[in-house]
Amino acid sequence: MPHIVLENANNTKEAFEAVSPFAQKIEGGILKVTDKYINGSEHTALVESLAVEQGVNQNFFIQLSQKKTSLTVRLLPLTDPEKTKGVKTIMAIIAKQIKDTNENITYGKNNLEDFLIH
């Protein structure tokens, strides 16, 4: 399952606020973040996303989940999309938006190194 751990990012509410909706045209489609939701305890957030690639639409959620000293950006298992280049790119953009809010945040363990934006 694709994921990106953001070290020194242990506040889901701040990460939630850092995520901005966007639409980005790509060859043969579009990548889009449309909305976001945070739970009552502010430990988990969901980011509603859409990847349209070569005429195939995939709606899915990216989950932001808080750990002790880190935050994990991953696909919500309930909306298990095909792990296309577009899906992975959206995850990387969201991680970068969060990372840019604090110079102490760094990329930790992940399996999307080719997609990370430095």
Residue 80 contacts by C-beta under 8 Å, 6 or more apart in sequence? Answer: 60
In the prediction, which pLDDT does 80 show?
87
- Integer distance in angstroms from the first to the last C-alpha of the chain? 22
Written as six digits, the tokens of 113 are 């190194």
Percent of the chain at pLDDT > 70 equals 100
Residue 1's pLDDT band (cuts 50, 70, 90): confident
**Residue appearing with tokens 């045209």:** 25
Give the DSSP H/E element, type plus range, for residue 31.
Answer: strand 29-38
Residue 10's pLDDT band (cuts 50, 70, 90): confident
What are 44-73's pLDDT values in tens digits? 999 999 999 999 999 999 999 999 999 999
- Determine the distance from the C-alpha atom of residue 88 to the mean position of all C-alpha atoms in its chain, rounded to a whole number: 8
